[in-house]
Amino acid sequence: MMSMLPMIGFGALMLLGVGLIVFGMRRSSQPDAISDRLSQFTERTMTLEEMELQQPFSQRVLVPLTKSILAKLGEYGPKQSAERLRISLAQAGNPGNLTPIQFSGIRLALAVILFLVVGAVTFLQGMEMSQALMYTAIGGVMGYLLPGIWLGQQIKKRKKAIIKALPDALDLLCICVEAGLSFDQAMQRLTEKWEDPLSKEFKRVLSDTRLGRPRRDAMKDMIDRCGVDDVQTFIGAVIQAEQLGVSIGRILRIQSDQMRIRRRQRAEEEAHKAPIKMLFPMVFLIFPALFIVILGPAVPRIMKSLGGLGG
């Protein structure tokens, strides 16, 4: 009996340890249950890892990998035009958040791809060596030039949208300032009301000023990002009004009237260009069809009469 006491004590200690472990596990699971229940009614803050895992696979892996490859290729591109390319990307609205090096990488990658594809097609078709080399070189050059052409189209499209939205934006700014708001509050109201390239530029100015930059410098950077003469005129007038202490509401009213006059002049200019633009389709498309319809039935008679005279 005395020899059984150590075994009984050991068993009791084992049961006590198992009980403590089970009790500790239940206690540790209770906060999770409470937090899960609370998460149904409140928004739980996610960790950086959870936020990253919520993104699709393309955003987490493919896009960063592609950008790193393009950056490596862009290092072999020309370095002289990097600053000009940076300004062009900014004027296009930074499509895809591309850097100048990455855009140069896109040019080189597309040039190499088209060079290889066109070269393979021409040589497989059995063309002569001179023609195959010529088409292959043209393919490589086109691959290098196509991204630049696309970027130029994006710049023109964005500038057109900014010019179109500027008079209405100045009207809203003028109304807000005359109603008693400050110029920064008026820009904030503009960004809340509209979602276009011009409102995004004003939002960028507001974010730069909130980070501590002087408003004058932030608005000068806006001139470079827009690349529009009307925006340069407007911002120059605002900066001059701040330096001289002139009423900003009066300046906005004058600028709004001038922008509307310029928009009317542009519309009249486009209207005067319309007849010249219509001339080419009329000459090459409409007039030949009219000639065929009008003179077509007379052609057999003319041919028959000419044939009779010859006989």
Give me the average pLDDT of each 10-residue run along the chain (311 residues): 47 50 46 54 58 62 66 65 84 84 85 87 82 87 90 92 90 89 90 89 91 89 89 90 84 88 87 84 80 79 69 50
End-to-end Cα separation, the chain, in angstroms: 148
The answer to whether residue 154 is domain-embedded is: no
How far apart, in whole angstroms, are the C-alpha atoms of residue 214 and residue 243?
13
Looking at the domain assignment, is residue 46 inside a domain? no
The domain total for the chain is: 1
Whether 122 maps to a domain, the answer reads: no
The model carries a pTM of 0.69
Whether residue 171 is contained in a domain is answered as yes
Q: Which amino acid is at 281?
A: P
Residue 248 lies in a domain: yes
Instruction: Write out the two tokens for 140.
Output: 């490589």
Q: Please answer whether residues 99 and 75 qualify as being in contact, where contact means their C-beta atoms are separated by less than 8 angstroms.
A: no
The reported pLDDT for the residue numbered 36 is 59
The residue whose two tokens read 């002289």 is: 80
Q: Which amino acid, 276?
A: I
Which pLDDT score, from 0 to 100, does residue 55 have? 67
Has residue 291 been placed in a domain? no
Report which secondary-structure segment, H or E, holds 283: none
Q: Is residue 126 part of a domain?
A: no
**Local structure of residue 44 (DSSP, 8 states):** P
* Residue 174 lies in domain: 161-264
Predicted confidence at residue 65, as pLDDT, reads 66
pLDDT of residue 21: 46
**CA–CA distance, 163 with 198 (Å, rounded to integer):** 9
CATH number of the domain enclosing 176: 1.20.81
CB 168 within 8 A of CB 198: no
| Dist. CA 178–CA 229, nearest whole Å | 25
Residue 232 covered by a domain = yes
- Sign of the Cα pseudo-torsion (149, 155, 156, 157, in order): positive
